[in-house]
A and B are shown apart, each in its own frame.
Chain A
Amino acid sequence: MKLFLKYSKPFAPYVCLGLFIKILGSFSELVIPFILEHIIDVVVPTSDMRAVLFWGVAMIVVSLLTLVLNVVANRMAAKVARNVTEGVRHDLFRRVMYLTAAQIDKLTVPSLESRLTSDTFQIHRVTGMILRMGIRAPILLIGGVLVTLALDPVMTLVMLGTLPLIAVSVLIVSRKGIKLFTGVQDKVDSMTGVVRENATGIRVVKALSKTDYEKRHFDGSNRALVAAEKRAQLTMALSNPLITFFLNAGLAAVIVVGAYRVQGELTKPGVIIAFMSYFTIIANAMIAITRIFTMMTRGIASANRITEVIELNQELTPVENTKKCPREGYIVFDHVDFSYGKMKKTLTDIDFSLTKGGTLGIIGATGSGKSTVIQLLMRYYDADSGAVYLDGRDVRSYTADELYSKIGIVRQNDFIYNDTIEENISFGRDLPHEDIEKAAVIAQAHGFISDIEAGYDHQLTSKGTNVSGGQRQRLLISRALAGKPELLILDDSSSALDYKTDANLRRAISENLGDTTQVIVAQRVSSIMGSDLILVMDEGEIVAAGTHEQLIESCEVYREISDSQLGGAFLE
């Protein structure tokens, strides 16, 4: 509800106008039966033919008016629903784009996805419906109650005596409903999660002949969702019969009380009869209102899931009053400790500095914390203790804009999307084509791009499934280079390149981008052996640091790795 108010505010006058028209439409709709009754009860018995025709035509005119008003009002409602949904979706997507890695880890991608899609869709549906139906019922209800009050206040109060019961049951049911529908959406998350997993891992699933297993797996989540939905719907379905029953119980009470009042000469029997017809109107309005309530319950559950994300705290905002960099260097890690989720330590006492224009190589076993170093440098996460400095400033003091505009990064298994090659390299930065081509030349991608018929206009599929792994990596490197970054980070991003291409790539980078500071995380000694500083990592610690030559001399682990990849190969 709050969400709706917030997003409809900008066009509040429009909403009011639409509601006003809807009210007019509802009134003119109500006038029609009155005219009809008037014709039958009053006009026809008088046998006045002209009067009959007059009222008949009047009824047609009012009907036409109703038609126009309702169509206009419904279209206005559709427009409001459109604008609200557009706004909500925009804000949600925007917020999602700015979430930190830790926040995404917690919310999970499938859940964010269904919030963006199915929950915003619910908002659209509910908004439109409330605007279309939410006016008429309350008007009928209030109007009906007012008329009955005028007829006989005592009987009206008897009838309304059941109202607290109705209110309480609606409240309980919808409160429970909101909880249940939130549960339903969570189950939707896990169901779509299974589909997502299978869509991405279809090769493995098929190769291991696990399709039957996956069918069962999906069946489980499908069943869980169906069960949750059943529970939610059955709970919501309680409200309608309950309310109808309470209302009619009130009516029975009205008749009995009315009988006593007639006996006591406090009211006339005709009043009771009139009461009956208004009661029907009130009861129908009540039922319509419960229906709206049911819809709203679902809408509120979705709105809550959306606001939960939109209102998440902005994390990793720039910190003021950071300490000055303790020593010279473009990149400085000053005794950094770090752990994901503050559990087991991932990095311990990482301490090094790299001069501007230098190249840093990081090598080490799987899980030794190489990528985590990059994550801290990029400030995807904050260090637990110690500090990371870039260009003389604590990374925490940068705004994301300032920090990231210095850096070009290629992460492991990075992001390729459904668009042209040109666009995947340019990545929405409006770079001139020469820059893109130049970057592609350095990244050894220009050759294969030129071999494709459409060249740079070649359409890539989502995740880049229509190019090979190595080509993907070279496109990603082109992307990083095209922005002419001060700092180039290659996080294990040439693993799919053959040695020859990899060597050409390194040569081209050093020839063309001499002043760029580079950080290269790699498995291959050959990728980093030319670095000014090489860090050998193991279990979150730097076990040795130095140049290739120094490490060959001093570090046994490094020598082992190097031998196995280079010289050692000849000895086998």
Chain B
Amino acid sequence: MRGMGGEKGEIKKDILFRMFSYAFEHKALLSLAIIIMIASNLLALWGPDLSGKAINAIGDSPEAVDMKTVIYYSALMLGAFALSAVLGYINSIVMVNLSQKITYTMRRQIFERLMSLPVGYFDKTATGNIISHISYDVDTVNSSLSNDILQIGAGAITVIGSLVMMLRISPVMVSVFLFTIPASIIFTRYKTKKIQPFFRARSGKIGELNGYAEEMLSGQKTIRSYNREDVIVSRFDKKNKITVDAYYDAEYHGSVIGPSVNFINNLSLSLISMLGGLLYLYTLTHTENPIPYLVISLGNVSTFIMYSRKFSGPINELANIMSELQSACAAAERVFRLLDTEPEPADAPDAVELTDVRGDVTLENVKFGYIPEKTIIHDLSFNAKPGNLIAIVGPTGAGKTTIINLLMRFYDINGGKIKLDGHELRQITRESLRRAYTMVLQDTWLFHGTIFENIAYGRENATMEEVIEAAKAAKIHNYIMNLPDEYNTVLSDDGVNISKGQKQLITIARAMLADAPMLILDEATSNVDSRTERQIQEAMYRLMEGRTCFVIAHRLSTIQNADLILVLRDGEVIEQGSHDELMSMQNGFYRSLYCSQFD
């Protein structure tokens, strides 16, 4: 978060610099673009010169027309413009390439950062907002970056060139700019600073709106089933109104800058023409011993004004660019804030790369809460020996899923120790730790891709035979073969013809193929009917064999032969032992849970 989130001008400079550094990374392309741009502009300037020559050749009377020369210069002019057009297009090619390179880089960086963020970030952040960063924000930054940088470059050349010319004609007249230019700079800076919060609000609001739209879209069926469309639409309207108002506010205040700078320029032009007139008068009246600086010819007055128009053109433009830059800055700030979000802390330098995992897991006095002030797990200790089946039972909300989050180090514990094969989790590289587990979760996750890809996801280079074998073991093969494209059927978002249970079976097949030394089953078969469950039981046993397994289940019958049953209640293990041991406790919680399922 370094340097972000403040409200001072300093910080903005930071963002601006960081933003432009993306363009400067492609120095070769950038300089090529500038060179071509200058060449193409020079050619475009040469054109009028040629046309002037052609017109001169016409002369001032019908007899004086030099037809040959006219045609010669016209043809040359055509050539110059053709070349200029070609160069102009080449310049576009370079610029498009540059800007797309930047967009590509930014999106890649965002995505890579996302992938390194702790799971908690995704638990907290609306997906729509994340998407807003990677699409809207990046687009805004980029559209301003690629155009503005070039315009500023080109503008600077023109400004400096014309300034030199003007100084040569009359330094006295240039003095007008001594007042007007600081005036526009001060005005622009003052306004920009005032407007910045509006632009920041605007970017934030659109992110919120996107988040809301995404969330409500995901619940559209439910909203319809409850006839709540109108309520949700009216809530959306409120947010929509806030967003467009934020837009309007930003534009309302921003719209002053361009015309105002334009006005200041026109003001200098008026002043210059008046001063020019005065000086010309002086020149006429003081023919003897005039002060040399004040002498000016009529022709020079008009040339000076021509240059001062050229001079103020880019400054006008700059004011327009400012407002674009402003929204780009606000968007960039959001992008950078995401890029600066702390990733999962790096693995300890001496972290071990686990290779042959035996699966000996020990928890000692583990303490944990999602927010530090609110401890969910107070003091948890147990030991799972290699190949053991550990069942975790307890009422909903007792912290079962939290244990899984800790075992896989999706979250770091606040106190105590978790050890795998004698190494503390923090001393193991995350990747090798996570690779040691396969998991099947209650919330199945399949992606947009073929069934084959979804099953093969856990193992690189899986063959079709292996995938089919896993699918057969998970009892989903027959269903797949009935689909129009069999294993090549594409699963799309909210795919129609696939039930939750079938999705779960596909993830079980995925887990079977992944072949990791340890296994986590969090309500893995909650959506599978018990007949199918029994049919895949054998395969599940095979899956569990020789692996340390953590199983969360409600159907107590499925976990009776666990080596260790942990009974959780309010974040504490209140009972632990084998099924028989627990059943022998007359007033035990487990016993009462177990009996309740036969009520």
Q: A252-B77, A365-B531, A566-B598 are in contact. Are A40 and B302 (CB under 8 A)?
A: yes
Asked if A192 contacts B134 (CB within 8 A), the reply is: yes
Asked if B269 and A59 make an inter-chain contact with CB atoms under 8 angstroms apart, the answer reads: yes
B252 to A105, Cβ gap below 8 A? no
Q: Is the CB of A263 within 8 A of B67?
A: yes
| Separation of A401 and B301 alpha carbons in the complex (Å) | 78
Measured CA separation A569–B530 after assembly (Å): 12
Distance of A197 Cα from B96 Cα, bound (Å): 29
Q: Which residues of B sit under 8 angstroms from A27, Cβ to Cβ?
A: none
Of A175-183, A323-331, A556-564, the segment with at least 4 beta carbons within 8 Å of chain B is: A556-564
Contacts of B119 in A (CB 8 A): 202-203, 206
- Which of chain B's residues have a CB closer than 8 A to the CB of A415? 218-219, 221-223
**Which listed residue (B55, B78, B135, B274) contacts A269, Cβ 8 A?**
B55
Query: Any chain B CB within 8 A of the CB of A376?
Result: no
A499 to B556, CA, bound (A): 9
User: Residue B592 at the A interface, CB < 8 A?
Assistant: yes
Chain A residue at minimal CB-CB distance from B250: A78
A249 within 8 A of B: yes
**B507-542 near A? 1/0 per residue, CB < 8 Å:** 100000010000000010011111111100000000
**Segment from A1-9, A69-77, A350-358 that makes contact with B:** A69-77
In the assembled complex, the CB of A80 is this many whole angstroms from the nearest CB of chain B, namely 10
Q: Which residue of A lies closest to B556 (CB)?
A: A499
Q: Is the CB of B260 within 8 A of A400?
A: no
A45 beta carbon closer than 8 Å to chain B: yes
The answer on a CB contact under 8 Å between A44 and B484 is no
Residues of B within 8 A of A264 (CB): 62
Which chain A residues border B557 with CB–CB below 8 Å? 564-565, 568-569, 572
| A134-142, A144-152, A465-473, A510-518: which lies at the interface | A465-473
Q: How far is the CB of B12 from chain A (nearest CB, A)?
A: 23
Question: With A241-B88, A248-B78 in contact, is A207–B278 under 8 Å at CB?
Answer: no
Q: Which residue of B48, B85, B93, B108 is within 8 Å of A244 (Cβ)?
A: B85
Contact of B108 (CB < 8 Å), options: A93, A222, A414, A428: A222
Asked whether, in the complex, the Cβ of B240 is within 8 Å of the Cβ of A90, the reply is yes
Q: Which of B430-459 contact A (CB under 8 A)?
A: 431, 434-435, 437-439, 441-443, 445, 447-448, 457-458
Interface of B is mostly: helix
CA distance A234 to B528 in the complex (A): 52
Interface residues of A in 518-542 (CB under 8 A from B): 523-526
Q: Does B21 make an interface contact (CB < 8 A)?
A: no
Task: Judge whether B281 is part of the interface by a CB distance below 8 angstroms.
Answer: yes
Instruction: Choose from A86, A117, A191 the contact partner of B244 (Cβ within 8 Å).
Output: A86
Give A96 Cβ to nearest chain B Cβ, in Å.
7
B531 touches A557 (CB 8 A): yes
Chain B residue with the shortest CB-CB distance to A280: B48
Q: When A93-B236, A245-B81 are in contact, do A78 and B248 touch as well, CB less than 8 Å?
A: yes
In angstroms, Cα B211 to Cα A264, docked, is 72
Q: Does A433 contact B (CB under 8 A)?
A: no
Of A153-161, A210-218, A300-308, A385-393, the stretch lying at the interface with chain B is: A210-218
A129 to B464, CA, bound (A): 54
Select B135's contact among A49, A114, A468, beta carbons within 8 Å.
A114
Cβ contacts under 8 Å, B124 to chain A? 461
Bound form: Cα–Cα A525–B435 in Å: 37
Residues of B187-246 at the interface with A, using a CB-CB cut-off of 8 Å, are 206, 209-211, 213-229, 231-233, 235-237, 240-241, 244-245
B115-A124 in contact (CB<8A): no
**Quick check: B226 and A199 within 8 Å, CB to CB?**
no
* Cβ contact within 8 Å between A207 and B217: no
Q: Contact at B127–A199, with CB atoms within 8 Å?
A: yes
| Cα A324 to Cα B11 with chains together (Å) | 72
Query: Which among B112, B127, B274, B529 is the interface contact of A523 at CB below 8 angstroms?
Result: B529
A82 contacts which chain B residues (CB < 8 A)?
244-245, 247-248
A364 near B: Cβ within 8 Å?
A: yes
By the criterion CB–CB under 8 Å, are B104 and A222 in contact?
Answer: yes
* Contact A564/B266 with A366-B502, A409-B225, A428-B235 known, Cβ cut-off 8 Å: no
Smallest Cβ-Cβ distance to A54: which chain B residue: B274
Q: Which of A204, A229, A561 contacts B530 (CB 8 A)?
A: A561
Give the contacting residue for B241; candidates A86, A109, A191; CB below 8 A: A86
Count the A-B residue pairs with Cβ separation under 8 angstroms: how many? 520
Q: Is A108 within 8 A of B493, CB to CB?
A: yes
The answer to whether B85 touches A74, judged by C-beta atoms less than 8 angstroms apart, is: no
Q: Kindly state whether residue B280 has any CB partner on chain A within 8 Å.
A: yes
Q: Which segment, of B29-37, B152-160, B395-403, faces chain A? A: B395-403
**Per-residue contact bits, chain A 49-68, to B (CB 8 Å; 1 contact, 0 not):** 10011011101101110110
Contacts of A101 in B (CB 8 A): 221, 496
Contacts of A524 in B (CB 8 A): 530, 555
B92 beta carbon closer than 8 Å to chain A: yes
Contact code string A95-125 (vs B, CB < 8 Å = 1, else 0): 0111101101100111011101110010010
Q: How long is the Cα–Cα vector from A392 to B241 in the complex, in angstroms? A: 44
Q: A366 near B532 (CB under 8 angstroms)?
A: yes
Q: In angstroms, how far is the closest chain B Cβ from the Cβ of A496?
A: 6
* A404→B225 contact, CB < 8 A: yes
Binds B, one of A336-344, A435-443, A546-554: A336-344
Query: Which residues of B sit under 8 angstroms from A501, Cβ to Cβ?
Result: 395-396
How long is the Cα–Cα vector from A478 to B53 in the complex, in angstroms?
87
B157 to chain A, nearest CB (A): 19
Nearest CB in chain A to that of B285: its residue: A47
Q: State which size class the interface on B falls in.
A: 35 or more
B267 and A63 contacting across the interface, CB-CB below 8 Å:
yes
* Residue ID in chain A nearest B475 by CB atoms: A366
Contact with A along B237-278 (1 / 0, CB 8 A): 100110011011001100110111011001101110110111
Given A39-B277, A47-B281, A244-B88, CB of A195 within 8 Å of CB of B215: no
Which of A66, A206, A461: most chain B CB closer than 10 A? Answer: A206
- The residues of B that contact A255 with a CB separation of less than 8 Å are 51, 54-55, 58, 70, 73-74, 77
Q: Considering the chains assembled together, what is the distance between the CA atoms of A534 and B496 in angstroms?
A: 25
Would you call A52 and B274 a contact (CB within 8 A)? yes
Which chain B positions have C-beta within 8 A of A45? 298
Cα distance A60–B96 in the bound complex, in angstroms: 41
- Which of B123, B245, B439 has a CB less than 8 Å from the CB of A466? B123
Quick check: A44 and B128 within 8 Å, CB to CB? Answer: no
- A128 contacts chain B at the CB level, 8 A cutoff: yes
C-alpha spacing A45/B248, complex, angstroms: 48
> Quick one: given A244-B81, A412-B527, are A259 and B554 in contact (CB under 8 Å)?
no
Counting CB contacts under 8 A, is B100 at the interface? Answer: yes
Residues of A within 8 A of B247 (CB): 78, 81-82, 85, 124
Fill in one digit per residue for A248-264: 1 if any B CB lies within 8 Å of its CB, else 0: 11011101101110111
Q: Decide if A462 is an interface residue (CB 8 Å cutoff).
A: yes
B282-317 residues at the A interface, CB under 8 angstroms: 284, 298, 301-302, 305
User: In the docked arrangement, what's the CA distance between A343 and B439, Å?
Assistant: 34
Bitwise interface map of B from 62 to 73 toward A, beta carbon under 8 Å scored 1, else 0: 100101001101
Residues on the A chain within 8 Å of B100, using CB? 226, 229-230, 233
- For residue A116, give the distance in angstroms from its CB to the closest CB of chain B: 5
- Per a CB cutoff under 8 Å, which of B123, B232, B259 touches A66? B259
Contacts of A428 in B (CB 8 A): 228, 231-232, 235
Residues in chain B near residue A13, CB distance under 8 A = none
* A47 x B410 contact (CB < 8 A): no
Q: When the two chains form the complex, which single residue of A40, A60, A252 contacts B78, counting CB atoms closer than 8 Å?
A: A252
Nearest opposing residue in chain A for B435, CB measure: A209
Do B228 and A59 have beta carbons less than 8 Å apart?
Answer: no
Mind listing 30 A-B residue pairs with CB under 8 Å? A36-B273, A40-B301, A52-B278, A59-B273, A67-B263, A79-B248, A89-B240, A113-B131, A200-B445, A202-B119, A211-B115, A230-B97, A230-B100, A252-B51, A255-B58, A262-B62, A269-B61, A273-B55, A346-B497, A365-B531, A371-B499, A400-B227, A411-B221, A461-B123, A462-B127, A468-B397, A498-B396, A523-B529, A560-B534, A566-B597
Known: A60-B270, A197-B448, A526-B598. 6 other contacts (CB 8 A): A70-B258, A85-B247, A226-B103, A404-B227, A469-B442, A564-B534
